[in-house]
A and B are shown apart, each in its own frame.
Chain A
Amino acid sequence: MATFKDFRNKVKPNWCPGCGDFSVLAAMQRAFANVGLEPHEVAIVSGIGCSGRISGYVNAYGFHGVHGRALPIAQGLKLANRELTVVAAGGDGDGFAIGMAHTIHAIRRNVDITYIVMDNQVYGLTKGQTSPRSEMGFKTKSTPHGSIESAIHPMEMALTVGAGFVAQTVSSDLKQLTRVIEEGIKHKGFSLINVYSPCVTYNKINTYDWFKERLVNLDEMEGYDPSNRQMAMQKLMEHHGLVTGIIYQNKESKSYEDMIKGFREEPLAKRDLMLTRDQFENLVSEFA
């Protein structure tokens, strides 16, 4: 059985020292091992930006695509081969700006993949512009007078478009982060995991300390029921979205693959391509 070390490779991440993404990487590696996967059974599809590099830092199959399109690539891959564990990963710009439509439709479609967003509320690799997750008033190179656009609230958004698994955590809590990723992988259907992953270089507001003071852990909240969507929405609103843990999970949800007419367990990628002569003649006869 593979251990978390088997998911390590020798590539040195080009992230800044102290970047929250290091913990996401470590948590992913631990989670894969904890659910009993081998490196070749895992594929990580990522977007562009600092976070997008993560697919190259895990010893597994990795696809580093184009900005905002990790999700459709990941869904195509999963539909091609249902046996793979497919994880999509990227930043808040990737998932909630350029790729927002894909995020919403991936949630609706419910293909069995896990989507991890490394949310630092700023654009790092392009050297510090505002992100759709930046709060009003946030000053950056592209918002010198402070952002005048309201921030996207991904957890509330996910709940309203029908997500079956919605979780949030922070990179300083490796234990919760690992557990949430494990649960996301095990969930049958699309899982959205938003990880507060502070950018130590360009975001001087939303720091580790800032989160420590504000985040409310739902896992430790007595009487919290993650299967109750209404309660989930209520807690998010009460705490301005600053909660962690599995916020909502619908264990009854059926994945896209399980709903497609005629779709089988054996991966498409492993099936014979050639039609039989009879199948072919039948198809052609409809045009006679």
Chain B
Amino acid sequence: MRKQLSWKVGGQQGEGIDSAGEILATALNRKGYYLYGYRHFSSRIKGGHSNTKIRISNSPIRSISDELDILVAFDQESIDLNAHELIEGGVILADAKFNPTVPDGVSARLLAVPLTRIAEEVGMAQMKNMVAVGASIALLGLSVDAFQEVIEERFARKGQKVVDKNMEAIARGLEFVKTEIGEIEDFRLEPSDGKKRLYMIGNDAVALGALAAGARLMAAYPITPSSEIMEYLIKKLPEFGGTVVQTEDEIAAITMVIGANYGGVRALTASAGPGLSLMTEAIGLAGMTETPAVIVNTQRGGPSTGLPTKQEQSDLLAMLYSTHGEIPKIVIAPSTAEECFYDTIEAFNLAEEYQCPVIIMTDLALALGKQTVEPLEYDRIRIRRGKLVSWDEELPELGDSELFPRYGFTEDGVSRRVLPGMKNGLHHVTGVEHDQTGRPSESPVNRKRMMDKRLNKLASADIGFPTPVFLDAPHDDADVLIIGFCSTAGTITEAKQRLEQEGLKVNHAHIRQLLPFPTDIVAEQIKRANKVLVVENNATGQLTNLIRMHTQMGDKLVHFGKYDGNPFLPSEIYNQCKELLVHGHI
């Protein structure tokens, strides 16, 4: 019996790979297993190899795995490209139709199952993916019953006949393995705790977080890997009276969001690197006009169009610095789907409290990686609107041509915010340097005071973001400290566990607030370790350099970058740590 294993299905894009993975994972989730799914896909609509890898466990996991136990292949290419990941004794479950062969040097067992033939017998060749699901669950020791509900929900719209056919395809696949191949005990899963949990991609969690935060308007331009956020909200916002505007470009998206926030509704946009590049001028406008705006950047491979469907973390400096001039800005980075939910709510609160743009940074692995999430708690949702004047408040009458001091100087730099439509709140908003009422002013004295006011809003790193750095740092004198951000948290955790099993003392700091930078917390952790490995999916060490700049403790830092388009594997981080400890460098 296995505590965990990895399953992968591969074939040509459009062959039902996603839905095979979805259906298997949903059923397992309902049984109480922990899951982590990662899709490998190309930037094209149909055709081209794609695969979905799902890791199944009866304890929490938040990372893809090094190895593979079961590979389901719809074509020989899927075997050739993926079989090297298989463990010794792993299984290739391939469609007998294409006469599958095992590549040289791979010691996996080949189970040729007539997936297409069985599907055709049931009634539709395209149900071969369901036959494959059935064959897979025979290996995992599960029964078809687990799928009834999932298949019904998925195909109910298409009628009972389609539901029955799909269930039959699953049953026939299972039966084939049982009768023709027999049980392969190695892959049976240990029972799970049966607890109800959620299963979602990071983008779902961001979208749900935005809804929970009260966001009722989204303006966005479709781009991989952020589009699921708008797609979810397009479905859901009408129930809450809101809407998504699919704009003509990202510049329209961000400026529409600024207009909407100026008008008093919580609004967001979401994009990836190329879109973020287009938005930079307007982000400066939000900073200068002290208008809240929430921007989600799901990083992907750059530069330029780069690797649109691949993992990378190379927009960090662009998010921190890319507008011209100097503005207050907050950049936060959730590292799990659960954090995507809670952090998005917090992003809207911070945007209003500090009246500035807030960027939620994720990356493709987090945005599209599907993972188990503990039940989200309604009671943890908090809405804080900062110094926003409420619609009920009666403001004192303005004198003749006098304006409301929208940008009034205050101790914390945050001024009271009135909304257009409020009586006695008239003021001007402009990207031009302005006085307390918003009227243009180029006076050097005013300029300096206004710059100080805006920048001082975030002068302290303590902006109230609940977890600026996630710490799993039990040792006062660690052999090594691993630092990361965004999606790598789970992978680092796993590498750490392996190193600790060997008696090494390992600390982990995951930076979740990149701006303002939590220097003190990070510096303290660096002090407590002999070596520091900074893990980031980029070539130039953007995070490493940022930490150097802030902590002035650069000598200890070693940058470990990966920029081939794939997420880190636990073994890679493990190996680099060992290397660093043995040789002093990597």
- Measured CB to CB, the residues of A under 8 A from B are 8-11, 38-41, 43, 45, 55-56, 59-66, 69, 71-81, 83-84, 101-102, 104-105, 109, 260-264, 266-275, 277, 279-281, 283-284, 287-288
Contact = CB atoms under 8 A, between A and B. Distances in A.
B30 interface: yes
B259 A77 contact: yes
B246 to A, nearest CB: 10
A36 to B, nearest CB: 16
B259 A74 contact: yes
A52 B471 CA distance: 50
Interface string B176-220: 000000000000000000001111100010001001111011010
A79 B375 CA distance: 33
A11 B439 contact: yes
A56 B428 contact: yes
Given A56-B428, A274-B383, A65 B255 contact: yes
12 contacts: A41-B421, A66-B285, A72-B252, A73-B255, A76-B219, A79-B260, A79-B263, A81-B264, A84-B263, A104-B248, A274-B381, A284-B198
B199 A287 contact: yes
A9 B349 CA distance: 35
B73 to A, nearest CB: 29
Contacts, number: 214
Nearest to B207: A283
A40 B425 contact: yes
Contacts of A80: 217, 259-265, 267
A76 B251 contact: no
B429 A76 contact: no
B301 to A, nearest CB: 27
Interface in B402-436: 419-432
A169 to B, nearest CB: 26
B214 A273 contact: yes
Interface stretch (B6-14, B112-120, B234-242, B455-463): B234-242
B430 A72 contact: no
A277 B429 contact: no
Contact of A76 (B236, B267, B422): B267
B252 A64 contact: no
Contacts of B424: 40
A248 B258 CA distance: 31
A260 B281 contact: no
A66 B265 CA distance: 21
Given A69-B251, A268-B217, A59 B200 contact: no
Nearest to A282: B239
Given A76-B217, A281-B378, A81 B263 contact: yes
Contacts of B264: 80-81, 267-270
B249 interface: yes
B29 interface: yes
B262 to A, nearest CB: 6
Contacts of B289: 63
B266 interface: yes
Contact of A288 (B30, B285, B378, B429): B30
B217 A79 contact: yes
B243 interface: yes
A110 to B, nearest CB: 12
Interface residues of B, number: 73
Most buried by B among A60, A78, A261, A269: A269
A63 B429 contact: yes
Contacts of A71: 252
A287 B423 contact: no
Contacts of B425: 40, 61
Contact of A75 (B212, B259, B378, B383): B259
Contact of B211 (A43, A64, A74, A275): A275
Contact of B439 (A39, A56, A83, A101): A56
Nearest to B376: A284
B241 A268 contact: yes
A272 B473 CA distance: 41
Contacts of A104: 248
A260 B237 CA distance: 10
B282 A102 contact: no
Interface in B161-181: none
Nearest to A45: B259
Interface of B: 29-30, 196-200, 204, 208, 211-214, 216-217, 219, 236-243, 245, 247-249, 251-253, 255-267, 281-282, 285, 289, 373, 375-376, 378, 381, 383, 391, 401, 419-432, 438-440
Nearest to A38: B423
A84 B263 CA distance: 9
A73 B423 CA distance: 21
A283 B341 CA distance: 13
A166 to B, nearest CB: 20
Nearest to B213: A273
A35 B200 CA distance: 51
Given A40-B421, A83-B421, A283 B263 contact: no
Given A262-B241, A268-B264, 19 more contacts: A8-B401, A10-B401, A45-B259, A61-B420, A64-B430, A64-B431, A66-B285, A69-B282, A76-B267, A79-B217, A80-B217, A81-B421, A102-B252, A105-B248, A109-B245, A262-B242, A273-B383, A279-B239, A288-B197
Nearest to A81: B263
B27 to A, nearest CB: 12
A269 B263 contact: yes
Contact of A61 (B198, B256, B426): B426
Contact of A263 (B243, B427, B430): B243
A76 B427 contact: no
Most buried by B among A56, A61, A263, A266: A61
Given A40-B423, A105-B248, A264 B431 contact: no
A283 B282 CA distance: 32
Nearest to B252: A72
Contact of A262 (B239, B266, B432): B239
Contacts of B262: 63, 73, 76-77, 80
Contacts of B212: 275, 280
Contact of B421 (A102, A269, A272): A269
A75 B263 contact: no
Nearest to B214: A273
Contacts of A39: 426
Given A64-B432, A76-B217, A40 B422 contact: yes
A287 to B, nearest CB: 4
B238 A73 contact: no
Nearest to B219: A76
A240 B391 CA distance: 50
Nearest to A275: B212
Given A80-B265, A268-B241, A269-B265, A69 B255 contact: yes
A260 B219 CA distance: 14
A101 to B, nearest CB: 5
A101 B428 contact: no
- A-B residue pairs, 10 tightest by C-beta: A273-B214, A76-B259, A80-B263, A262-B238, A269-B264, A73-B259, A76-B256, A76-B260, A64-B430, A61-B420
Given A60-B426, A63-B429, A262-B237, A288 B196 contact: yes
A215 to B, nearest CB: 32
A139 B3 CA distance: 79
A260 B266 CA distance: 18
A66 B196 contact: no
Contacts of A63: 259, 262, 289, 428-430
A60 B438 CA distance: 13
Nearest to A257: B243
Contacts of B256: 72-73, 75-76, 79
Contact of B216 (A55, A78, A271): A271
